[in-house]
Copies of this chain bind each other. A is one copy, B any other.
Amino acid sequence: MSELGIIEPETFLFEDSFSLESGKSLDGFELIYETYGKLSDKKDNAVLICHALSGNHHAAGLSNENDKRPGWWNELIGPGKAFDTEKYFVVSLNNLGGCHGSTGPSSINPSTNEKFGKEFPLVTVKDWINSQNLLRSYLGIDRWLAVAGGSLGGMQALQWAIDYPDLVEKSIVIAAAPKLSAQNIAFNEVARQAIVNDPDFEKGTHHPKRGLGLARMLGHITYLSEEVMKEKFDRDLKKEKIEYGYDVEFEVESYLRYQADNFSDKFDAHTYLLMTKALDYFDPAKYFDGNLISSLEQTKSNFLIISFSSDWRFSPKRSKEIVNSLVAAKKPVSYINIESFQGHDGFLFPDNRYVNTIKTFLNSDV
């Protein structure tokens, strides 16, 4: 169910050469995107939504008549919701390198007429911001009222404020971190090894379903708090009693296998690798001698930083690093830590304080 009804995605085609942070370039690209609400005559109500690791352009509404699950942020985007489509023109795209319609590893490489696969160059958060800026221009938007996102999406919101300070009025950085910790990189590396060690991946032509499933299982554990896993599954058994074998015995095992199976049927392995690498590489302070405060000094937007109490993937402590650096850089920043037992996934759920904070922030004059 969605008040927004069926949403038709559109495509932005960029036909020039596009330089990447790595030094490589792409001979043009396509970005698939959706919009919700109407662009005002003054073109001053556009909000860009950036997606996380496994997200896509379909953030709200339904894809078609038979769609049973609305977009991934449908709880927060729509009439009267946090991102109120009665007021704002909300833009959501699938990032470059994605596998849901934008140019990426699963697209056809025009120079070989085969899928790019591992030949698709690695892209970074900075590359995404640059490509999203071309989309902004194409849509006739002079300046974003806000750029918002959770997790890897929040990192994009932060990078936007740094790279295009004149083009962002408000930045909403949710459940993010200023850069990945060694532990974060370690989890990503296990996920990548699960994929590249799958013989079906090595063969190149097949889909490494098992490796991708493993990566997803592992990711999923880090998205949930220990608390919500206890609440959802605890030590409940799938069968009547323990059978002392290797079949699924606990509910949590069954759930993870289902998640793995479901995800790995739909997602592209190279995109998964690329997205985890973009996470690892993210470090806006990199071009400022590692000094996050310096990197933020050039920003001109008003910041809202949001964390979730039970998030251990990017904990409140990580959000506070961003807040403290913004304060040190003398930038306007509001920070709220939402009490939640959902873990990192908390950013997907419409908690009242969370929703009202975003509403108030978007609505305020700055």
Number of copies of this kind of chain in the complex = 2
Interface residues of A (CB under 8 A from B): 21-24, 118, 121-122, 124, 179-183, 185-187, 189-190, 192-194, 196-199, 210-211, 213-214, 217-218, 221, 224, 226, 229-230, 232-235, 242, 244-246, 249-250, 252-253, 256-257, 260, 273, 277, 280-281, 283, 312
Partner of A235, one of B218, B257, B260, B283: B283
Bound together, the chains give a CA A127 to CA B218 distance in angstroms of: 30
Bound together, the chains give a CA A277 to CA B248 distance in angstroms of: 11
For A183, the chain B residues whose CB sits under 8 A away are 221, 224, 226, 229-230
Given contacts A199-B199, A226-B183, A234-B182, contact A252 B217 (CB under 8 A): no
Name the residue among A118, A122, A124 with the largest chain B CB count within 10 angstroms: A122
B182 touches A281 (CB 8 A): no
User: How far apart are A219's CB and chain B's nearest CB, in angstroms?
Assistant: 10
For A185, the chain B residues whose CB sits under 8 A away are 235, 250, 252-253
Bound together, the chains give a CA A111 to CA B216 distance in angstroms of: 41
Given contacts A214-B194, A244-B22, A273-B246, contact A253 B189 (CB under 8 A): yes
Extra contacts besides A182-B226, A182-B252, A197-B210 (5): CB < 8 Å: A179-B235, A182-B230, A190-B217, A190-B256, A194-B194
B280 touches A186 (CB 8 A): no
Given contacts A194-B194, A226-B181, A235-B283, contact A252 B210 (CB under 8 A): no
Bound together, the chains give a CA A187 to CA B218 distance in angstroms of: 7
Name the residue among A179, A218, A260 with the largest chain B CB count within 10 angstroms: A218
Bound together, the chains give a CA A189 to CA B136 distance in angstroms of: 44
For A194, the chain B residues whose CB sits under 8 A away are 194, 214
B232 touches A182 (CB 8 A): yes
User: How far apart are A285's CB and chain B's nearest CB, in angstroms?
Assistant: 11
Partner of A189, one of B121, B181, B217: B217
User: How far apart are A292's CB and chain B's nearest CB, in angstroms?
Assistant: 13
A280 touches B250 (CB 8 A): yes
User: How far apart are A117's CB and chain B's nearest CB, in angstroms?
Assistant: 12
Given contacts A194-B194, A199-B199, A257-B193, contact A182 B122 (CB under 8 A): no
B218 touches A218 (CB 8 A): yes
User: How far apart are A181's CB and chain B's nearest CB, in angstroms?
Assistant: 6
B221 touches A190 (CB 8 A): yes
For A182, the chain B residues whose CB sits under 8 A away are 226, 229-230, 232-235, 250, 252
User: How far apart are A164's CB and chain B's nearest CB, in angstroms?
Assistant: 22
User: How far apart are A24's CB and chain B's nearest CB, in angstroms?
Assistant: 8
For A253, the chain B residues whose CB sits under 8 A away are 185-186, 189
Bound together, the chains give a CA A281 to CA B243 distance in angstroms of: 10
Bound together, the chains give a CA A226 to CA B187 distance in angstroms of: 11
Bound together, the chains give a CA A357 to CA B121 distance in angstroms of: 56
B221 touches A186 (CB 8 A): yes
Bound together, the chains give a CA A199 to CA B224 distance in angstroms of: 30
Residue of B nearest to A248 (CB): B189
Name the residue among A187, A233, A242, A283 with the largest chain B CB count within 10 angstroms: A242
